[in-house]
Amino acid sequence: MLVRENSEGEYSGQGGRSHVGQPWEAATEVAMFTRVGIERIMRFAFEVAQSRPRKLLTVVTKSNSMRNGMVLWDQVAAEVAKDFPDVTWDKMLVDAMTVRMVAKPQSIDTIVGTNLHMDILSDLAAALAGSIGVAPSSNLDPTRKNPSIFEPVHGSAFDITGKGVANPVATFWSAAEMLSWLGEKEAAKQLMDCVEKVCAAGILTPDLGGTSNTQGVVDAVKKEIERLV
């Protein structure tokens, strides 16, 4: 499970350019980290880890070279950890984390990181799982005061538009996450059970080494769902 802060951090849109067109042109990109934002994502990440069987959390950082925002990030993580004594947690630099994900994925369960770091690591995780076409995402408001958004990790993929080879698994999985968030956990489980049966039967799109197409996978999942009715 990857938990990404997506309201601040490196993608805050703060900064600017000066002396445009001059040899000494300069640009700045300011990463904004707030205590309230960090505590919110850390508390949510610890709660997620606590709800999972292994109760294991890795906090991704880069505080060895980013000596302000990332130091605050580490500090707040340590503070929040005190409220979750049953969760085992560790801290790892983002570059070392890429190695760990590839070499020792079994040592990881839940990961929390900044906007930029998890943007990169989530794509790596999807590739390790077989294809970015299977990875779901949930943009959540932990307070539930605002709507949440559920969508595949992959983008629009205009290069394969109309070819019928897009993998629909990530869309199904995103729908399952939405159902779970809305309290329909049994429906979410049933949907994913159907998807897993189809994949286990070898009905796969080319990105996973299969020979089926998008519609073929969708139809197969529909048949599995209809058997439940």
Task: Give the residue numbers annotated as catalytic, written as ranges.
Answer: 11, 62, 95, 119, 123
Asked if 87 and 51 touch (Cβ cutoff 8 Å), the reply is no
Measured distance CA(198)–CA(145) in Å, rounded: 36
Kind and range of the H or E run holding 198: helix 185-200
**Distance, CA of 150 to CA of 184 (rounded, Å):** 15
| Residue 151 neighbours by CB distance under 10 Å | 16
Give the burial string for 129-146 (b: 16+ CB within 10 Å, else e). ebbbbbbbbbebeeeeee
Q: What are phi and psi of 25, to 5 degrees?
A: -55, 140
**Per-residue tokens: 135:** 């990875």
Gap between the Cα atoms of 174 and 80, Å rounded: 29
**Which alpha helices (DSSP H) does 53-184 contain, by range?**
69-81, 94-103, 115-128, 169-181
